[in-house]
Structure 1
Amino acid sequence: MPILYITAYADDHLLQRAKITTPFGYICKPIQEDMLRTNIEIALYNHQQKRKLHESEERFRGAFETSGIGIPPDKLSDIFAPFQQIHHPDIQAEGTGGGIL
């Protein structure tokens, strides 16, 4: 829920305390109706955007966590097969990279 402070106090100590609650606004009295309406609209919009971002992060986190990390074991042989073809422990051929395996 978005928090919007309306207060008659604007001292730095109170402002620092209010920041801890991550408000969507901090309005000092006296206020005008159009200023209040604008701040409420912005607070609701920012809250909606923050919620959408959180939902998106959760979707991507879920997709990432279920996709696994790294190379699946059954695919390792496919990836390393070309290197194994040029590597023979008894033969050294220049330019094949076989000597570095």
Structure 2
Amino acid sequence: MALIPYDKNAVWGLQKLHKSSSTYHFANHTIKIKQNWKQLGVAAVVWDAAVVLCSYLETGAIDLRERSVIELGAGTGLLGIVATLLGREIKVQRD
């Protein structure tokens, strides 16, 4: 059972969860995530908390280069994808 009832007209803020996909721009990449709320429930959508944490990681506050990251219970995996991309990013210093 989903934590939030599946009713696309119930709450305006939840309408984005009912789209079949979401597109994000992180780590110089465009990431398109497929979603399927009806079939898989809460694990099949990109949650705002994942997007916020991706934005935070992108600021560089935590250096992910050459680090191992485990993502547990973060919906569709957007956070893990972004962490991997940021960990592989090569920073070029200019003189």
TM-score range, shorter chain: under 0.3
Going by fraction, where is helix more abundant, 1 or 2?
1
Higher relative contact order, structure no. (Cα contacts within 8 Å, ≥ 6 residues apart): 2
TM-score by length of 2: 0.25
TM-score by length of 1: 0.24
